[in-house]
Amino acid sequence: MNPLLIEDAVRRALAEDLGDAGDITTLACIPASALSSAVIAARASGVIAGVELARAAFRLVDPRVEVAVEKDDGARVQRGDIALRIEGPSRAILTAERAALNFLGHLSGVATATATLVEAVKGTKAKIVCTRKTTPGLRAFEKHAVRCGGGANHRFGLYDAMMIKDNHIVAAGGITRAMTAARAAAGHLVKIEIEVDGLDGLKEALAAGAEVVLLDNMPVEDMKKAVALNAGRAVLEASGNVTLQTVRAIAETGVDVISSGAITHSAPALDLGLDFL
């Protein structure tokens, strides 16, 4: 991940929470000189992600706040485990608390959802990857959280790889023509993936020399046939209807990659709380 993105994102979150008037309750009730120690602890089990964003929230509100990391990004936590220890001016800790927890809870939620799928396919060769179905404004961080959870990244956007979908195929006049058009336009460091919805499509894609093929919403039986037909030539990605219930069966077809939008767009936040000591 590009670490230079962190400060902007955290400033935006703090601006949202502090507005013009700031933390008016804390300014009214807590003396400026008060110092506190606190911890951020897990209230459920999961995988941590977003520690650097949480740290930045405290630091940006007051550089005197010290944050010690007990559980870094990628670490598994159980209910009660302490992730971060925080020390410094009480006002700053209270003011930054929610922004820090909102990042940490959301991204740890993504990491945890990913880890659950990764666990489910253990022993197969399938990698769990995310999609572009991310929360607007947080893609770089969610892509990072997916890696913290043991998953891998699909392309980051429309710009870093080609993905030829059904509409591109129709507009270009078929799979072969679309592959040709894409290859002519792509630089020598751009990978091209093509989406097919059946075995005929796969055959045509392979004949056109496809390196990566997305099997779109295919029944598990067809995926097995696709793996056999492919015989190791292209990287095969399974997409559609991927849930904790279905993912093992999909992985066992022998596909290389299984993509899930839900691990980014529908992951519940991991429950984490800040407690003063």
Clarify whether 195 is annotated catalytic: yes
Report the distance separating Cα 12 and Cα 34, nearest Å: 27
Our CB check for a copy of itself shows the closer of 12 and 122 to be 12
Clarify whether 224 is annotated catalytic: no
Site for a copy of itself in 66-85 (CB under 8 A): none
Q: How far is the CB of 211 from a copy of itself (least distance, A)?
A: 9
* Residue choice 69, 82, 172, 199 for contact with a copy of itself (CB under 8 A): 172
Q: Which token pair is 219? A: 């029944």
Distances (CA, A) of 2 to 127, 143, 144: 23, 11, 10
Question: What DSSP state is assigned to residue 137?
Answer: T
Question: What DSSP state is assigned to residue 67?
Answer: E
Our CB check for a copy of itself shows the closer of 199 and 269 to be 269
Q: How far is the CB of 37 from a copy of itself (least distance, A)?
A: 12
Q: Between 86 and 115, how does the x/- string for binding to a copy of itself read (CB under 8 A)?
A: ----x---xx--xx-xxx-xx--x------
Clarify whether 98 is annotated catalytic: yes
Compute how many residues bind a copy of itself; rule: CB under 8 A. 99
Report the 10 Å Cβ neighbour count for 61.
Answer: 26
Which residues have CB under 8 Å from 14's CB, separation 6+?
Answer: 57, 60, 61, 96, 99
Report the distance separating Cα 66 and Cα 55, nearest Å: 9
Q: How far is the CB of 260 from a copy of itself (least distance, A)?
A: 12
Report the distance separating Cα 83 and Cα 104, nearest Å: 10
Q: Between 192 and 231, how does the x/- string for binding to a copy of itself read (CB under 8 A)?
A: -x------------------x-------------------
Residues in the chain: 277
Clarify whether 200 is annotated catalytic: no
Our CB check for a copy of itself shows the closer of 57 and 221 to be 57
Which positions are catalytic?
98, 133, 165, 195, 216
